[in-house]
Amino acid sequence: MSSIATSSAPLQICGMDVQDYLVKAEEFHGHLSPGVAMGGFLVDAAWRVLGPTPYLNAVVETVVCLPDAVQILTPCTLGNNFLQLLDWGKFALTLYDRETLKGARAWVNRQAVAAVPEVAGWFLRGAGGIVLPKDEVVKEIARRGPDLLLARPVEMPAALKPSEKVATGPCPACGESYPLRQGAACLACQGQAYYRF
């Protein structure tokens, strides 16, 4: 059924049509953002380099947008301990096997982005680019994703999230459970409470 001259195959993200990924991303993330679009391609690129991975873990190097791409596309979530966050402000991530510690890191290629004014206006904060509405930027990323990033194998010296059970007990001030190693009271009762009753 294929025609003689076919255009290049539509881009995919983790085996999913890009448009299908964007629908899922909008549903989970609440809106479509350039970051979650680019994040999908970063996950895809790292996973392609890594290959089939039975014990997949992930590290994201920013807390913005990227964690949602990982949580949509992989079994790694924040709450299940397989996604590690670094608040580094870098648009990059690593997927790795927590048994073999072999991984792949993917990151945005600044030079490639700089050559695309429609994306540079977003990623480079306007420097040398055209500042477009976000949905226009998403469209450009969806067309070009893999050309805007780089990925290569890495090795991890150690898994970043060893699970450990810590001893807990009741806080003498509020009565709630807390990790005893934090001191004589829980962090809220030590003065860090972010709320007022």
| CA gap 35, 169 in Å, rounded | 41
Tell me whether residue 10 or residue 54 sits nearer to a second copy (CB atom).
54
- CA separation for the pair 141, 39 (Å, rounded): 10
Structure tokens at 107: 């990151």
Please give the size of the binding site for a second copy, defined by CB under 8 A.
69
Q: Which of 36, 46, 141, 148 binds a second copy (CB under 8 A)?
A: 36
Do the bridges between strand 56-60 and strand 83-85 make them parallel or antiparallel, or are there none, so unpaired? Answer: parallel
Q: Please report how close the Cβ of residue 8 comes to a second copy at its closest, in angstroms.
A: 21
Q: Residue 137's Cα: distance from chain center in Å? A: 18
Buried b (16+ CB within 10 A) or exposed e, 23-55: eebeeebeebbbbbbbbbbbbbbbbebbeebee
State how far the Cα of 160 lies from the Cα of 154, in Å rounded to an integer: 14
Part of the chain binding a second copy (CB under 8 A), chosen from 4-12, 16-24, 43-51, 169-177: 169-177
Among 63, 115, 173, 184, the residue binding a second copy under the rule CB under 8 A is: 63
CB of 142 to a second copy, least distance (A): 18
Among 34, 40, 67, 129, binds a second copy (CB under 8 A): 67
**126: alpha, beta or left? (left if phi > 0; alpha if psi -120 to 50):** left
44 binds a second copy (CB under 8 A): no
* 34, 40, 103, 129: which one binds a second copy (CB under 8 A): 103
Contact call for residue 141 and a second copy (CB under 8 A)? no
- How many of the other CB atoms lie within 10 Å of CB of 129? 19
What residues make contact with a second copy under the rule CB under 8 A?
A: 1, 28-31, 33, 35-36, 39, 59, 61, 63-69, 71, 75, 77-82, 85-86, 88-92, 94, 103, 105, 107-108, 110-111, 123-125, 152-157, 160, 165-168, 170, 175-179, 182, 186-188, 192, 194-197
